[in-house]
Amino acid sequence: MAEIRRDEGSFPTADNLKLFWISAMPPEPRAHIALVHGYAEHIGRYAHVVDHFANAGFAVHGFDVRGHGKSEGRRGHVRRFADYLDDLQRYLDRVKIAAAGKKVFMLGHSHGGLLAASHALSQPRDLAGMVLTSPFFVLAFKPPAVKVAAAKLLQKIAPGLHLGNEIKSEQLTRDPGFVAAHRADTLVFNVTTPGWFAAALAAQAKLLAEAAQVTLPLAVFVGGNDPIADAKLAKLFYERAGSADKSFKLYEGALHEVMNETNRAEVLADIEAWLVKHL
């Protein structure tokens, strides 16, 4: 097997934060994948995903979203959702340069799916398609009412205040190895902020209202027992999306992180097959 060239570094945001990025480049890649991770985690948790697609001949790029992983910024916080989208555009600009004219696909998981789909509202012509896994379009559970009320109050007076979240490692996957790794991961965090909460809610509402503007080729993969991101809302977005070329698959019994699940080989093979079909 030809050697895969791996690289990493950082790039600046408009407000002068440094965001960490990685890439894995096989010789003469078939296409390029821009990977966007979920909330409260980081791109390092996707090493096996990067390896799978790089070994299949795809160049894979990823970055730690602001306030996550090895990137700068207050943990889990954003002043406005547009900052995420500005950062994502800068990241995609880097990927497009590396792609040198070859097709670029975006693969977003959970909160990364919300970012990817929100970016796709602008109908980017430089992306060949978008894959979403367990996209975070609404919570699958109701957080405590007192916490919601406090967050709405604090978003105006202390938007960056850290509050605990309700997510547990065992809600992510049925695989005990991935659960243990998540618990031991020092770059994973269990807080959120009122500012992020408000920004995410507004972005979700906008996306579902304007889903018809998303016209990229689209694939959505979700877990049937996802306790974090509501699979029904992912299906509703899929149905509302204006894409003429779209597909949806639900994996019975799977939890939130379908690419880290016990049937992850099946999931990654399905994603790969969709990408190959769109080469």
Strands (DSSP E) along the chain, which ranges? 5-12, 18-25, 32-36, 59-63, 104-109, 129-133, 163-164, 191-192, 218-223, 246-251
**Does pTM surpass 0.85?**
yes
Tally the C-alpha atoms within 13 A of residue 165's C-alpha that lie toward its C-beta: 21
Angle value at C-alpha 168, between 165 and 174, nearest 5 degrees = 150
Catalytically annotated residues: 110, 226, 256
Say if residues 218 and 245 touch (Cβ distance below 8 Å). Answer: yes
Return d(Cα 21, Cα 61) in angstroms, integer. 7
Tens of pLDDT, residue by residue, the chain (279 residues): 569 999 999 999 999 999 999 999 999 999 999 999 999 999 999 999 999 999 999 999 999 999 999 999 999 999 999 999 999 999 999 999 999 999 999 999 999 999 999 999 988 888 999 999 999 999 876 666 666 666 677 777 889 889 888 789 999 999 999 999 999 999 999 999 999 999 999 999 999 999 999 999 999 999 999 999 999 999 999 999 999 999 999 999 999 999 999 999 999 999 999 999 999
- Residue 19's domain comprises 5-277
Return d(Cα 149, Cα 105) in angstroms, integer. 39
3-state secondary structure of 193: coil
CATH of the domain at 162: 3.40.50.1820
Rg (CA), the chain: 18
Split into its structural domains, the chain has a count of 1
Say if residues 155 and 194 touch (Cβ distance below 8 Å). Answer: yes
Retrieve residue 64's tokens: 């730690």
